[in-house]
Structure 1
Amino acid sequence: MRGASLAILVSSAGRRVGLIECFRRAALEISLDLKVLACDADPDLSAACQVADRAFKVPRIDHPDFADALRDIAARHEVRLVVPTIDPELLPLALAAGEFEAIGARVHVSPPSVINVARDKAETMRVLGAAGVPVPATSTYEDVRARPAEWPWPLFMKPRNGSASRLIRLVRTPDELPQDIEEPMIVQEFLDGPEYTINAFIDATGRLKAAVAHHRLSIRAGEVEKGRTVRDPRFTEIAHRLAEALPEARGVLCFQIIADRQNGPKVIEINARFGGGYPLVDRAGATFARWLLEEVAGLPSSAHDEWREGVLMLRYDAAVYGG
């Protein structure tokens, strides 16, 4: 016998079929009658929109009507949970979260104070470093170009507000610094070591309930293609420090660490949302999707930190057919 019904809206759904499957599996486990809505700028070409119960076309994220369009869908279809999936939509939805709350919908997003830190890599390094979280030495492109002798080469260069590994490059010598840049860039000390993602769940009271690390064995378009869960007390400690540095953070977030072979693990960026590798975390037993549904539905929380180490994910290409 099915229990209560609940509708969620997955925004910028794109290829997030695995995320939708995690929510559906979670709903079955807690006897929740779940309806999955999805939206995208081009839903006809979104695999996740094709597998959702209903799909909607919405304006692009940079359009002034983006958040209003999502709110209208949520109001018409009694959506209780809105799940953003990419970084650029986080701030518009965080700013509009109160309007969604007024119609009974929770946007799974931290407050703007958190998003402003996570979306600005220079600010991320400043805030985390001040809180005792290990981070790489970081400065602006302009500063490094003006004082190259003060830096140990090679260095890493990346957009201050970038995502999906866009425009990241290794700069081996001062001569390799570009003459001009089209957007603000930061430069960081080069870290030599394996890269990990730590997926964290912070409950509605601000308590860190789980921190699940996976080794990023292979990356494609900025997302993990092959990964394995690992337990490392250093990562757990860093997760707690990061949560303390961002006391208003709520729900799911993930952050990247490079375990430098000489100086240990350091945080290089934060994504204040479900990461692309979340299905691996879910399979390992840290069912963040279920914990969110429990919060929204007013059910007892089953959140825990007893996930399985050594779970391996090997992604492959699959297809959704229409027409």
Structure 2
Amino acid sequence: MLLTSAGRRVELLECFRAAARELGLDVPIFACDLEPTLSAACARADAAFQVPRCDDPTYAEAVRAIVAETGSNLVIPTIDPELMPLSEAVSGFDELGARVHVSDPATIAVVRDKARTSEVLDAAGVPVPRTQTLDALRAEPDLLSWPVFLKPSGGSASRGLAVVDRPEDLPSQAGEPMIAQDCLRGPEFTINMFVEADGRLSAVIPHVRLSVRAGEVEKGRTERRQDLRSIAEGIATALPGLRGLACFQVIDDVVQGPRVIEINARFGGGYPLAHAAGATAARWLLEEVTSGSSTAHDDWVEGVEMLRYDAAIFRGLP
């Protein structure tokens, strides 16, 4: 298998490695990155490859060339910007007998645009915060209550987030499309969900985000919440093209209740917590690729806690 934009995703790589051992499979794990010599996950992989930036027009073909060279049967994207180019190139990977863990382009187009995400989910009855474009809010400040939460419509990794207290504090211009939403207050949850190849939602694993660093959960604890499962079911209905492991973020507002603030149609940074709790999506994907079916289930352990710490890989020692 091939892990793309591998970066620091050592935990994810090791989840797949452990899943392969459990299944008795000999699965070489390759990785690629813009700078593989500076990637910890590439250092842990069986071999590493350099690729252009994922916004380069040749990116998908560069990944496909690695798949052809290595004989990889499964490709796991790890960051949002590479989802669309890989989704649009799926047929080329199919020709090589490789599955790309990515949803269809229509689904990716929705989840990569937070304004469209809010619109589509709201129309399906999934609870979301009130959302306006920056331009609309400038024109009619009373569309939302103040303060408001401002973020890039296509952003990720907590980039460009801001709380704006008054209409006059709105930026006069922005370098990219921005949206404003209700400023929610309450605990934040990540919910991992696994949709099998036939479209069946098999597992929903919420965890409360006890501590976050650079947009990624640092400390978390799994919790069973029927209301959050119901929201996952609504998302699966609203996005029928969603496949594999995805995650979404919810803020359980003290007044409005749970509201979905974004969806990531990929393995999120908090996946290792779900994996440790027994929701082993890495194994389920390997099963789908090797046998055409999976043992996906919702019988995971509640109350499992993850406390992350920094680790290092050292090279060049005598």
Q: What range describes the TM-score normalised by the shorter chain of this pair?
A: over 0.9
Task: Please identify runs of 4+ aligned residues in structure 1 that moved more than 6 A.
Answer: none
User: Residue type matched to 1:189 in 2?
Assistant: D
Aligned to 1:118: 111
Distance 2:206 2:180 in 1: 26
Q: CA deviation at 1:304?
A: 0.3
Please tell me the residue identity of whatever aligns with 2:219.
Answer: K
Return the letter of the residue paired with 1:240. Answer: E
Alignment partner of 1:24 is 2:17: yes
Residue equivalent to 1:5: none
**Residue type at the aligned position of 2:222:** T
The worse-fitting range, judged by mean Cα deviation, of 274-283 and 146-155 is: 146-155
Find the aligned partners of 1:122 and 1:278 in 2 and give their Cα distance. 25
Equivalent residue number for residue 130 of structure 1: 123
Query: Which residue of structure 1 aligns with residue 69 of structure 2?
Result: 76
How many pairs align? Answer: 316
Partner of 1:206: 199
Q: Give the Cα–Cα distance (whole angstroms) in 2 for the partners of residues 151 and 301 of structure 1.
A: 45
Counterpart secondary structure, 1:35: coil
Q: Which residue matches 1:90?
A: 83
* 2:225 matched residue in structure 1: 232
Is 1:35 aligned with 2:28?
yes
1:136 maps to amino acid: P
TM-score, normalising length: structure 1: 0.97
Matched, 1:109 2:102: yes
**Matching residue within 55, 64, 72 for 1:62:** 55
The answer on 1:167 being equivalent to 2:173 is no
CA contact (8 A) 2:191 2:248 kept: yes
Find out whether 1:13 has 2:10 as its counterpart. no
Rounded to whole Å, the distance in 1 between the matches of 2:165 and 2:261 is: 19
Corresponding position of 2:215: 222
Cα distance in 2 for partners of 1:197, 1:272 equals 13
TM-score by length of 2: 0.98
Equivalent residue for 1:261, pick from 254, 257, 267: 254
Counterpart amino acid of 2:36?
A: P
Aligned twin of 1:241:
234
Identity %: 59
SS at match of 2:73: strand
Match of 2:92 in 1: 99
Question: 1:280 is paired with a residue of what secondary structure?
Answer: helix
Q: Corresponding residue for 2:296?
A: 303
Q: Which residue of 2 aligns with 1:149?
A: 142
Give the whole-Å Cα distance in 2 for the aligned partners of 1:104 and 1:150. Answer: 50
Q: Is there any run of 5+ residues in structure 1 with no aligned partner, and where?
A: 1-7
Counterparts in 2 of 1:158-197, with a 5 A limit?
A: 158-197=151-190
Deviations 1:85-111 (A, max 9, x none): 000000000000110001101000000
Instruction: Give the unaligned 5+ runs of structure 2.
Output: none
Deviation at 1:151, TM superposition (A): 2.2
Task: Report the secondary structure of 1:33's partner residue.
Answer: coil
Query: What residue identity is the alignment partner of 1:227?
Result: G
Q: Deviations over 1:252-273 (max 9, x none)?
A: 1100000011111010000000
In structure 2, distance between residues paired with 1:57 and 1:247: 34
After superposition, the CA RMSD in angstroms is 0.8
Q: Deviations over 1:275-315 (max 9, x none)?
A: 00100000000000000000000165211001111110011
Q: CA deviation at 1:175?
A: 1.9
